[in-house]
Structure 1
């Protein structure tokens, strides 16, 4: 974590560092009873009170864990077990035959990947070898499971067939930003639990290429869980299901519903936080992630069993960034527009600024027109030496900006209200005269309201992608649209606010905010209570734009 991030979190009362008062912790533990007062440095595997990480895997997937036992580092040992379990799951799926280690032989038909779309990201982070190995192994597992059971998913749902693999069906009817945050979070859980991720959204194939070559991530035709009324995870967990001693009828459910939204209760947050939660659902064939609209991936870092593994896979805590660049690849119609916009406006610019102004109903709020140019002027990295030289030349030649300057700064504007583009364009002409810099402002146009047909969703995706190619990003308060752009970009954004003396502030991370995260969660089965997430994890912060309920991972 950088010094700036530390200072920002401290000022927001968001991040706190656990001091090594082991005696005091022991005393508190004795006073409050049998529940564990968790210190993040304690080794879960050394305590009999904690569910071991390996217990989260179905028994048939633990065959190759022996070679991992000698690894001392807890996180690396967990990753070793993840890889072994994923490999074993791929082996048990018959698929097309052959070894699960066989290299892919499928032709990539996605133009975005083939034509270097990912290479446009100048600030992208590289995946760790651990994460890359796990994604490769997961892809083989996904392909083999789909090849083996894809056409039989309805029979699995109706309990007519015992599956070889386990599944997650994801669907969401919220806005595109919410959908992408929810999908990436669900994908993280799919990786951690060796489950095949399938998407139930009719328009998804018009937005994104197939991420798993030679396979499919779209639910089979004629299959749907949108009207499924299976029990929720909380109901299942409260009944003690998942253990061999329970025989309640609902414990035999083949499908469980999992939802994270603004109304999710702490009983459902146990899915994220409680060590025994992932183990309790390990034998459930299908998890139905329906209408989750949050970046709930943040919550898994509050789980003391999962945390060491997640820290090994994501040492910078940029979960959305690393997973989105694997899973999300725009289809040809979107990619062609991204490519053309980039060549015309971004390729030759000296700096790229993205401005995203959230107007959910197309309503026009003029305070953005004051904040945006002030933030650009003060936070876009204009070099003082260059500015001084430009002003000297302007004294000699008032037309210096218009006639002589070959360099320019591009500004991409995304908003449902078109008046913002007009106003910002006017404001930037004044700033050009003040700074000697040349700005070129562009947009793809404004629809006036949020629409959900394929054409408008593709336009929204183009907006997200163009914003994500920025060097400097300025976004609206609480905007999930902006969150996804910053996550793709891998850069920490500035949040705009209507104060002339301080028009924007730097956030703490490129990873999106979990708007309605866990606060206090009791895990009686694990003898553990998470009382305050900000004290459990030293890089967990309150969201700067929603501090009362939001949680965010600060990057290191």
Structure 2
């Protein structure tokens, strides 16, 4: 009995020592499994906010991942109501550029104005009553005659055109202390969150001026006929038949300030023309230190709703999150500049190979195993209406090794075959792809395409532009953009935005803010 007790004591002691020796290893294994589970369970944005990185909880540096974008965004929102507003910054690869203090102050003042004058307020109801009143107002150039003045944005054409025109209209509203309201059609609903705290940018459905989408055909009051007008209709599209040709002239801008209601329809990024105006020159220089208007105002305004953000983040984590690098490739073929699929694919590959964006493939012979790279694959995110480019690119990189041993994975979120701007689901997919492109490390876009302008502006990346076959001049596959700004396609025909002569004492850099577009003959853009 004593011998058995002694054996039990010795065995228990040995087991205790063994457990103590194995405990650190057990904890290490358990922690690894726990970390792996958390990495899989925690959404990307939450990991970023709490400081979870590479399986460990570390103090989060707010300067590295500022959810308010350096003060650009207001903190007066419920985060759950619009997850993308504060989460998108953790997906963009390009380091955030802080906005100017003047722009931040301007946005906070605008938010207060919109909250005071927006839909549902007493001042808004008074403005509607004034619009309905039969009594006409005499307008003279100068300051506004009322505290609350409005510019109503009327959509035109596809999602890319709508977004660049929306950003342009918001800048115009900022410069003139006017409240921006959107005429939201069914195909544009549930795409973007409300950008202004405590109010709405949606024009009420009972707005007294009807048929806004067709008013351009015979508008009662325009810049050509402003006398005793309760509102003015402004047409700023590529179609010069209906355009307000004098809109950018100094006397017109001063006159428009005195109108309480402006209805503005555009499919253009007319920001460069505002920079050419002596009326706004000083203010714009304080607001923007370089060619980054869309970068800041796009990130301020354009927040996908939770339903769209769900599409974006699920696709990103399923196909792109583990890639060593993401190359965004946006293809658009225009009926006005036809090109065969063989020619387009050759142009894409020549551009990508010459610029070192993608590796070439070995068509014949086996690759030397010593050149095989065992790192993460490089992903190509392809966005286009057509599926044929995806099939051919994927087959090429699946069937042939690359010269440097890289593995290339090609992904295409959707292929609608035809553009259906009138369908809301089509526009949701388009917005999803724009945002996914903005999360890439490098971009290759199609010249003249407003769809491609949006992700380049949001990301702050200068893309390589695939030149259209009708571009004229030197025949090149692609050209690097001089800035991330979109192009104003159709300044021709508008008065007062031609080449300005440099004034005595005017800084030379002021004259260089607006330059020529790489992809559109006669187009204007902001340059760095």
Smaller-chain TM-score bracket: 0.7 to 0.9
Q: What is the DSSP-based 3-state SS (H/G/I as helix, E as strand, rest coil) of the residue aligned with 1:412? A: strand
The reply on whether 1:107 has 2:78 as its aligned counterpart is yes
Distance 1:110 1:160 in 2: 41
Question: What's the CA shift for 1:145?
Answer: 0.8
Change (3 A) 1:497 1:513: closer
Q: Is the 8 A contact 2:84 2:306 kept in 1?
A: no
Give matches, 1:201-350, under 5 Å: 201-203=184-186, 204-223=188-207, 224-225=209-210, 226=212, 228=215, 230-231=219-220, 233-236=222-225, 250-264=226-240, 268-272=244-248, 274-290=249-265, 292-350=266-324
Distance 2:370 2:93 in 1: 35
Q: What is the DSSP-based 3-state SS (H/G/I as helix, E as strand, rest coil) of the residue aligned with 1:234? A: coil
Q: What is the DSSP-based 3-state SS (H/G/I as helix, E as strand, rest coil) of the residue aligned with 2:402? A: helix
Change (3 A) 1:310 1:231: farther
Change (3 A) 1:171 1:394: same
Q: Is the 8 A contact 2:514 2:527 kept in 1?
A: yes
Question: What's the CA shift for 1:431?
Answer: 7.2
Distance 2:414 2:302 in 1: 24
Aligned residue number for residue 426 of structure 1: 395
Distance 2:125 2:468 in 1: 54
Aligned residue number for residue 429 of structure 2: 459
Aligned residue number for residue 196 of structure 1: 179
Give matches, 1:136-175, under 5 Å: 136-146=108-118, 147-151=121-125, 154-159=128-133, 164-175=147-158
Question: What's the CA shift for 1:364?
Answer: 6.2
- Superposition RMSD in Å: 3.2
Aligned residue number for residue 47 of structure 2: none
Give matches, 1:121-136, under 5 Å: 121-123=92-94, 124-136=96-108
Aligned residue number for residue 385 of structure 2: 416
Q: What is the DSSP-based 3-state SS (H/G/I as helix, E as strand, rest coil) of the residue aligned with 2:180? A: strand
1:496-529 C-alpha deviation (Å, 9 max, x unpaired): 148999421112211100001157835xxxxxxx
Q: Is the 8 A contact 1:518 1:533 kept in 2?
A: no
Aligned residue number for residue 58 of structure 1: none
Distance 2:106 2:268 in 1: 24
Aligned residue number for residue 42 of structure 2: none
Change (3 A) 1:498 1:263: closer
Question: What's the CA shift for 1:113?
Answer: 3.7
1:281-323 C-alpha deviation (Å, 9 max, x unpaired): 2221111012x11000111011123122212211112211110
Distance 2:400 2:277 in 1: 48
Q: Which has the higher contact order (CA 8 A, sep 6+)?
A: 1
The reply on whether 1:496 has 2:466 as its aligned counterpart is yes
Change (3 A) 1:158 1:501: closer
Change (3 A) 1:427 1:327: same
Q: Is the 8 A contact 1:377 1:431 kept in 2?
A: no
Change (3 A) 1:498 1:550: closer
Distance 2:501 2:429 in 1: 38
Q: Is the 8 A contact 1:409 1:439 kept in 2?
A: yes
Distance 2:414 2:501 in 1: 41
Change (3 A) 1:305 1:150: closer
Could you say which structure has the larger radius of gyration? Answer: 2
Question: What's the CA shift for 1:449?
Answer: 0.3
Q: What is the DSSP-based 3-state SS (H/G/I as helix, E as strand, rest coil) of the residue aligned with 1:287? A: strand
Change (3 A) 1:293 1:339: same
Question: What's the CA shift for 1:357?
Answer: 0.6
Q: Is the 8 A contact 2:323 2:379 kept in 1?
A: yes
TM-score (norm 2): 0.72
1:430-460 C-alpha deviation (Å, 9 max, x unpaired): 7752221121110112011001211111011
Aligned residue number for residue 438 of structure 1: 407
Change (3 A) 1:152 1:418: farther
Q: Is the 8 A contact 2:328 2:437 kept in 1?
A: yes
Higher helix share: 1
Change (3 A) 1:196 1:114: closer
Distance 1:145 1:320 in 2: 25
Name stretches of at least 5 consecutive residues in structure 2 with no aligned partner: 1-73, 136-144, 503-509
Give matches, 1:340-379, under 5 Å: 340-359=314-333, 365-379=341-355
Q: Is the 8 A contact 2:232 2:263 kept in 1?
A: yes
Distance 1:518 1:442 in 2: 39
Name stretches of at least 5 consecutive residues in structure 1 with no aligned partner: 1-102, 237-249, 388-392, 523-529
1:485-506 C-alpha deviation (Å, 9 max, x unpaired): 2111111111114899942111
Question: What's the CA shift for 1:218?
Answer: 0.5
Aligned residue number for residue 26 of structure 2: none
Change (3 A) 1:275 1:104: same
Q: Is the 8 A contact 1:208 1:329 kept in 2?
A: yes
TM-score (norm 1): 0.69
